[in-house]
């Protein structure tokens, strides 16, 4: 069975509005595809994701369908723009909803996300990419994901400039190199964990 990746685009823009975050997410998923990883993605702004920390907040909450796609994949790519030096409010909403995983640790200490790999992808026109990546990775590892070695792919344009990632004529060499590296690392790690899952830590 091929490995599967699922990308969550946490742009504030609903589809089909052009999205720099989607451009970077597409590039990461395409790079994973070169390692035999199948992929799909969703733009969270197109779903009614209720506030809360439960797996299902009821009353039309559409997080459960996205959550199932996360659980069906071996690799999660969480992509967000930077706003005011922070992950988008939608990215934070996704992380809040993932808090429910902590209530699903079994009596042997196994998280439902054990064995899944997470990659962050960050884009913006202001400083803060390292801070945003740190926030995402800290939360993702807290709820059981494993992070591959290597710098997460990000692009930050000139401060107060109007150029967006989607406007670039070509992908900067360093960004392209980072995408290739993280895709290779993530696919390799996900394959290892798929074949040899983490043991139950017990009590």
What are the CA-CA distances from residue 80 to residues 32, 123, 202 (Å)?
Answer: 18, 7, 35
The structural domains of the chain, ordered by start, are: 4-195 (3.40.50.360)
Reported pTM: 0.96
Strand 75-83 versus strand 86-87 pairing type: antiparallel
pLDDT tens-digit series, residues 82-125: 999 999 999 999 999 999 999 999 999 999 999 999 999 999 98
CB-based contact 147:117 (threshold 8 Å) = yes
What are the CA-CA distances from residue 78 to residues 58, 91, 147 (Å)?
Answer: 24, 8, 12
Contacts of residue 158, defined as CB under 8 A and 6 or more positions apart, other chains included, come to 125
pLDDT tens-digit series, residues 125-175: 878 999 999 999 999 999 999 999 999 999 999 888 889 999 999 999 999
């Amino acid at each position: 069975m091929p490995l599967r990746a699922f990308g969550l685009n946490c742009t504030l823009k609903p589809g089909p509005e052009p999205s720099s975050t989607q451009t970077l997410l597409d590039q990461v998923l395409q790079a994973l595809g070169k390692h035999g990883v199948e992929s799909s993605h969703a733009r969270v702004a197109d779903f009614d994701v209720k506030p809360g920390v439960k797996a299902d907040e009821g009353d039309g909450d559409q997080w459960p369908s996205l959550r199932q796609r996360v659980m069906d994949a071996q690799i999660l790519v969480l992509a967000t723009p930077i706003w005011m030096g922070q992950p988008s409010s939608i990215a934070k909403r996704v992380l809040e909803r993932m808090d429910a995983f902590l209530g699903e640790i079994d009596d042997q200490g196994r998280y439902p996300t054990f064995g899944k790999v997470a990659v962050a992808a960050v884009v913006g026109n202001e400083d803060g990419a390292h801070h945003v990546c740190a926030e995402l990775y800290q939360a993702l590892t807290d709820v059981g994901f494993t992070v591959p070695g290597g710098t997460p792919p990000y692009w930050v344009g000139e401060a107060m400039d109007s150029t967006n990632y989607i406007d670039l004529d070509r992908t900067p060499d360093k960004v392209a190199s980072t995408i290739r590296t993280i895709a290779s690392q993530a696919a390799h790690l996900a394959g290892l964990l798929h074949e040899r899952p983490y043991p139950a830590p017990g009590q």
